[in-house]
Structure 1
């Protein structure tokens, strides 16, 4: 039986989109861009975690936040979790001497390199027409880094202290215990929604080209789904195939961290490429932001 015209057109549209998408991936060398982003993320990871722990310590949470943030990485890899947890706990015990604001600013400056790397990578994918003013961009990176840390800190707060928050609100308002139990199920969709919103905001404000929000949402969905699949697949791979201790020895944790950050970067770029290709197909490539400078 001949397929319906609508079905044929839909199939052809999907096939054309996939073809253009993979052509754009090869043309832009997303793997190479992800490797560059990994370098920036490596520079920014530990300063970002330090600032995140500092933000969480300001909240009314019980327990050691440094250890809790480190343990949250055990879900991806025990080696990664151990490396990060050991670093954060060591820093928490031996904070740098000098003014508090001084080392916070230094950590913020280092953490902003991650935002800078993501911006440069997404600019390659979104194909800006002009270069952007360096001084304005550095100020933009610092402000965006601070907002991102607060945003991620909120998500971490909901994951690590969500149950404490629920019981506090229940006791304060005088609700029944079942509302606290219900919150334990509601907080995970809320965290995923925050993650999706964060990716959309990254696609909107980091690149110089501003696409319509609906295309950014289309790109953010595969990015978030890719990260979720990455977390699960990474654990399965390490459990069954990842016998790296015999190959890399003491460098195993470092290798796994770099590889994991490369995959995270690649997912972010693939989502951005999806948004750009879909927008370009419909002739809505957006406008270039006003942070541009002279060549």
Structure 2
């Protein structure tokens, strides 16, 4: 009951709405920066959006992909260096919003200097990009890696079949790692790794379930274009971001509650 009371007192709905706004501002710079990096890797933008399509509604993917490709194709190469710096800074705003939200969950003020706080936001953003890159490697080259192991190490066909299953089920593990990193590094309070596990487990399961459920509804029943016209894709994206922020905050509240319980017993 005390945990439910924390949910009610923390104004999670209001803070999630603020976070969704910053997610919207940061998603396009984040995707533009990621697509820019893909030019130096053996992946295509189609591979990237195919990976995201597993969790996001189709209209959201279409909106993001069209905007990102338009910006990337028209970008002035002479401004590339400055553009990347500005893009990374803008993309980190989403992480900065998560930091503020988790600080609120722990009922602590931000005590770290501005440059430290922003540096953590940027590092967490890079961590997210690296996680996406790892997922792309498993998705695009996973089969080839399995066949290489089969020929080089004489692995059995059963092991190859197991590897095929593992590489497609690795996404929840990567998502869990992302949430673990967020809950450990983001708050302006010292926490232990094991204390952030409950919230990370909840956020992983909750976010995957909410994303699949919302995507299924939008793709099969929702007709946001009839109400919102040409900005229907943006509205869908905002709702998805709101659900994401809400679940992140719930996970943070769970961790904060467990942390306060542990502190009171020591």
What's the TM-score once normalised by structure 1's chain length?
Answer: 0.80
Match of 1:220 among 200, 213, 226: 200
Counterpart CA distance in 2 for 1:171 and 1:99 is: 47
Partner of 2:36: 54
Partners of 1:174 and 1:106 lie apart in 2 by 49
1:67–1:88 contact (8 Å) kept in structure 2: no
Equivalent residue, structure 2, for 1:105: 85
Shift in Å, 1:172: 6.0
Whether 2:174 is the aligned partner of 1:194: answer yes
Contact 1:51–1:108, Cα closer than 8 Å, also in 2: yes
CA–CA separation in structure 1 for the residues paired with 2:125 and 2:212:
27
Quick one: higher RCO (CA 8 Å, sep 6+), 1 or 2? Answer: 2
Alpha carbon RMSD of aligned pairs, Å? 2.5
| CA spacing shift, 1:194–1:108, aligned 2, 3 Å | same
Q: Which has the larger radius of gyration?
A: 1
Q: Which stretches in structure 2 are left out of the alignment for 5+ residues?
A: none
Shift of 1:170: 4.7
Match of 1:265 among 245, 253, 262: 245
SS at match of 1:254: helix
Structure 2 residue aligned with 1:162, among 139, 142, 150?
142
2:51 is aligned with 1:72: yes
Partners in 2 of 1:38 and 1:83 — Cα distance?
16
In structure 1, the residue matched to 2:212 is: 232
User: 1:21: how far off?
Assistant: 1.6
Whole-angstrom CA distance in 2 between matches of 1:167 and 1:59: 21
1:127 matched to 2:112? The reply is no
TM-score where L is the length of structure 2: 0.88
Separation in 2 of the partners of 1:285 and 1:257? Answer: 42
Q: Say whether the 8 Å CA contact 1:55–1:153 is kept in structure 2.
A: no
SS at structure 1 position matched to 2:41? coil
